[in-house]
A and B are shown apart, each in its own frame.
Chain A
Amino acid sequence: MSRLIHIAVKDVKTLLRDRAAFLIMLGMPLVLIFILGSALGGVGESENIDIPVAIVSQDNGSEGALFAKAIADVKELESVFNIDVRDDFDTVRSEVERGDLTAALVIPGGFSDALAAGDPVTLEVLQDPGSQLTAGLWAGVARAAAANLSAGQIVRLTVTNLLTEAGVPAGAQQPGGGSPEMTFDAVSVKTVEVEPEKQIALIDYYAAGQTGMFLLFGAMFGAFGFVRERREQTLARVLASPASKFDVVGGKSLGILTVGVAQFFVLFLGTTYLFGVDWGPTPGGIIIVGIAEAFAATGLAMTLSALAKSERAIGGIGPTVIMLFAALGGSMIPVDQMPAWMKPLQSISPVYWALDAFLGLMRGGAMSTVMVSVGALLGIGVVLFGFGLWRLSYE
């Protein structure tokens, strides 16, 4: 057993002195997380989003102003939109064209008169073509408001007609003498409070995804070490000593696992303290998932060592397999954006299970919710390790 430990210690020492490996295993993921997180960080942030929009009224009557105020006062919209009520149409239009405003709802001139006469009115929404998604949200708000307003109009005109037919004088029909009050409660919607799922910022997503992927690169360097030892005859020399094959395989696997776990901790702590990545309220769970993936990576290292006859072969096979796992697993594109036919393939990827578990814990899930993923990672590790051991050549 002590020989096994000595082999593991030697492997860790030699890998830590390999600058190229160090750079790829730690430097690259940190840089990629930073770049991807910074470049895409504006979308998907967990905090309230703040889309700048405007309502501009060209109406000379009171209805336009009332309508604008009714929309601007809706509390539910505050967490999404920064609504500015304006009256300078030309300036608002230029701000939308420049992209300073995402969208603007335009209330046309004669709006009050048209409402009073029961004539149709067309509201206009100016949209920034570069922000179609968020501008579309604002257009939806405008449609909802218009529908509400239309319903109010229908009610008002119906009541007016009924009263007229009943012989009630026009002056007596509206005791207040003004327009009916604008409300958004013509149709009531019952809302059921649910626990909101925590949104994950993109830098958090990519921290999990890149960690999942780059842990597999640690496996590749482990396989490099195995094949290099075979070529340089150090493996044969170890086997010519009283060390057994169990010592050799166990020691090398322990070395790869140790490096993988250490790599995970560096990425976990590095992303937390350098980039403020929020790994969720269960760090213990995150660590268990990280160790489980490092185990799967150790199995992958054993399989790569068995399949590749040379370091050059590993240089070809290793990145191909890892990138495939990473792409299937969601390291590059979120898995929910992938086509349905790809979903069954995802289960072979350790990155998929690791990312699934990381994201679950980041969203506040309990450890029990990711046990399936942890089990899958351990299972993949056992299968890859077993295959590698079966096919491994020591000469």
Chain B
Amino acid sequence: MSSIVQVTDLVKRFGDFTAVDGVSFSIEEGEVFGLLGPNGAGKTTTISMISCLLGPDGGNVVVNGHSVKTASTAVKRELGVVPQEVALYPTLSAAENLAFWGRMYGLSGTALKSAVADALVLAGLEDRSKERVEKYSGGMKRRINIAAGVLHKPRVLLMDEPTVGIDPQSRNHILETVKDLNASGMTVLYTSHYMEEVEFLCDRIAIMDHGKIIAVGTLNELRDVVGGMDVVSVSVSDVSDSTLSAVRVLAGVESADSTEGKLTVLTKSSGSILGGLVAALESEGAHVTSVTVEEPNLESVFLHLTGKSLRD
């Protein structure tokens, strides 16, 4: 395989704030590349620079040999973009929306008609193609949103958190669609803050935080970062800062963080710390409802690398 997207030392600043800070990675043709990170990590800004919506303040992006700095139109022709928001015209029908986006990519005549028909099949909405998009459910809108990004059959598809705020059924449909598109040869850059999606879809993953790439590799390579460690997840009522501090100083605890009633602890010896961990929590007044020990995952990788949970 060869790199179809090459990102080198990419920088983007907004005033004094550096949203993307020297990001480098490459995407091989035909792979699904995941960009994982919490909200505000810089994923959308990175995608915006790849898709030529924002100009970089430093570094470069090259897509299939075309630089975003010198050949943005050529770059755009290689790409399909599925934005985080549903970017469709609500008073137009699904077919009208798709036809419009097809025309923006230079399709016309029978090629356009065929592409619209295929996109409607992909979205599973061929029976409702003449309805205005404003009448669709959230999941249906998301599906048309994706269809609009791929109907011109781009070589590289950029998907920015395409499953935010939708029901599980639509989410599964979208994930399966991404798998199918990749199976047909489309290269995909997929950003998300849901580690399960990234684990399910991606051949390689870059973990991003505070505008920087902190790790890149396959799922197994990233798991090896925390090789030999277990993840202890504790469902607990209200974890205060003092409780968290008490846990972090326990013997055997590598790192710990909490979010939304869940305490995550990274340890090399889960068996020896469980008793002390529960006792420490109880003594701090926290009520433990369940404790599970899991294999290392991207959550634990992120915790290990940053000392905080992915959903912080």
A residues in contact (CB < 8 Å) with B: 2-3, 6, 10, 13-14, 17-18, 232-234, 236-244, 395
Contact = CB atoms under 8 A, between A and B. Distances in A.
Contact of B104 (A3, A232, A395): A3
A239 B53 contact: yes
A74 B103 CA distance: 76
28 contacts: A2-B103, A3-B104, A6-B100, A6-B103, A10-B89, A13-B92, A13-B96, A14-B91, A18-B91, A232-B86, A232-B88, A233-B85, A234-B87, A234-B88, A236-B48, A237-B83, A237-B87, A237-B101, A238-B104, A239-B53, A240-B83, A241-B76, A241-B104, A242-B76, A242-B77, A242-B104, A242-B106, A244-B73
Interface string B95-128: 0100011011110100000000000000000000
Contacts of A241: 76, 81, 101, 104-105
Nearest to A242: B76
B233 to A, nearest CB: 36
Interface of B: 48, 51-53, 73, 76-77, 79, 81, 83-89, 91-92, 96, 100-101, 103-106, 108, 148
Nearest to B48: A236
Contacts of A14: 89, 91-92
B116 to A, nearest CB: 14
A243 B104 CA distance: 6
A242 B100 contact: no
B103 A242 contact: no
Contacts of A237: 81, 83, 87, 101, 148
B150 to A, nearest CB: 13
Contacts of A234: 87-89
A68 to B, nearest CB: 72
B91 A17 contact: yes
B299 to A, nearest CB: 29
A3 B104 CA distance: 6
Contacts of B81: 237, 240-241
7 closest A-B pairs by CB? A241-B104, A233-B87, A237-B87, A17-B91, A233-B85, A240-B81, A240-B51
B135 to A, nearest CB: 13
A146 to B, nearest CB: 72
Nearest to B160: A233
Contacts of B104: 3, 6, 238, 241-243
A240 B85 contact: no
Given A2-B108, A242-B77, 14 more contacts: A2-B103, A10-B100, A13-B92, A232-B86, A234-B88, A236-B53, A236-B87, A237-B81, A237-B148, A239-B52, A239-B53, A240-B53, A240-B79, A240-B83
A83 to B, nearest CB: 63
**Residue among B53, B73, B86, B104 with max Cβ neighbours from chain A (10 Å):** B104
Contacts of A243: 104
Nearest to A3: B104
A10 B92 contact: yes
A17 B89 CA distance: 11
B99 to A, nearest CB: 9
Contacts of B148: 237
A214 to B, nearest CB: 22
Nearest to B152: A241
A3 B73 CA distance: 13
A237 B82 CA distance: 8
Contacts of B88: 232, 234
Contacts of B85: 232-233
Contacts of B91: 14, 17-18
A5 B148 CA distance: 19
Nearest to A241: B104
Contacts of A238: 104
**Residue among A10, A13, A17, A240 with max Cβ neighbours from chain B (10 Å):** A240
Nearest to A13: B92
A17 B73 CA distance: 32
**Residue among B76, B81, B86, B89 with max Cβ neighbours from chain A (10 Å):** B89
A239 B55 CA distance: 13
A43 to B, nearest CB: 44
Contacts of A13: 92, 96
